Amino acid sequence: MSKEKTAQLRKFVKPFEQADVKASVKQMVNTIPPFFLFWFLAYLALDVSIWLTIAASIVAAGFVIRTFIIFHDCTHGSFFKNKKANAVVGTITGIITLFAFEKWKREHTIHHASSGNLDKRGVGDIWVMTIDEYVEASKWERFKYRMYRNPLVMFGFGPLFLVLISSRFNRKDARKKERNNTYLINFSLVVIYSLLIWTIGWQAFVIVQGTTMFVAGAFGIWLFYVQHTFEDSYFEDESEWDYVKAAIEGSSYYQLPKVLQWVTGNIGFHHVHHLSPRVPNYNLEKAHESTPPLHQATTINIKSSLKSLRYKVYDANNKTFVTFGDIKHLLQDSKKTAEN
């Protein structure tokens, strides 16, 4: 795709950037109340079967994911036309999903502005090392990276780290507005969770809320991971990096079954979202279908997306992800050189 064509793409999707208040309210109605309903049903099901509770909690987790998409749109200022409305709804959905609104807003903005830029990694993205960086790293650094990229760690401990640590503390350079928003959400969570534990007991709370948020968190991390980790994903040095190319070539189109597409708020059209974050989630599919050049984005489905678990290190020379096994010989050569 030429630079001229990629430059025109943002103009093509601009008509879809307008938020529709009715569509936004409708999405809130068919997302947030069902979450509370299935959460309550999961609690009631404890008197019948813990497996029934887990099943209901998993359904509730699906609505948490959908609620997160509303939260996500609010951070981009795309869910409502009104800035204050986005902030209020974003903070409320942040309480539900356990994410600090202003904090995540800033970090995610940085992610969009630097996705695929090898010289600006580290904020709001998945940790990616190039082959050279991995080979030259210390044993301890390589060990940490291997653990980080291990599926059990990323999708097992990852959700716990996100909601219990990362989202609960401000960055050192956070401004007053961001800090206060995080404090407000943390305080709200302490009050709400304390009341729930006092009302239903800590065991029931841990089973229902723990299952719901863990499943939602793990699937959320998977969505973020898989849509930026595919064999020929886009990464370039600062001097060669291009925003539009990073959006189209560095973000995949995750073709999901209609039910999962609905649950995930069309975020599978990730290439469209990165091209124009101002497009609300309910317009992403329309923007994709109406813009033929966007059909050239890397398309993955559930089966093919599982291959992404193999991709660990980025080959900056050949512009592709490789496995740890693919570069094992480089580590051996490096060790021999060091010994000599």
Which run of H or of E encompasses 299?
strand 299-300
Whole-number percent of the chain with pLDDT over 90: 82
Confidence at 297, pLDDT banded by 50, 70, 90? confident
Whole-number percent of the chain with pLDDT over 70: 96
Q: Residue 211 has which token pair?
A: 């299952």
Displacement of CA 74 from its chain's centroid (Å)? 14
Phi, psi of 226, rounded to the nearest 5 degrees: -70, -25
What's the confidence (pLDDT) of residue 3?
A: 57
Confidence at 243, pLDDT banded by 50, 70, 90? confident
Phi, psi of 47, rounded to the nearest 5 degrees: -75, -10
Q: What is the pTM of this model?
A: 0.93
Torsion-angle region of 266 (φ positive above 0: left; ψ -120 to 50: alpha; else: beta) = left
Q: How far apart are CA 177 and CA 269, in angstroms?
A: 31
Residue 227: closest CA among 299, 129, 295, 276: 299
The mean pLDDT value for 138-163 works out to 95
Q: Residue 326 has which token pair?
A: 């693919």
Q: Is the pLDDT of residue 209 over 80?
A: yes
Reduced to 3 states (helix: H, G, I; strand: E, B; else coil), residue 219 is: helix
What's the confidence (pLDDT) of residue 124?
A: 84
Query: In the chain, where do the E strands start and end?
Result: 253-254, 299-300, 313-315, 320-322
Mean pLDDT computed over every residue of the chain? 93
Q: How far apart are CA 74 and CA 101, in angstroms?
A: 9
What's the confidence (pLDDT) of residue 332?
A: 80
Buried b or exposed e, range 200-230, using 16+ CB within 10 angstroms: beeebbebbbebbbbbbbbbbbbbbbbbbbb
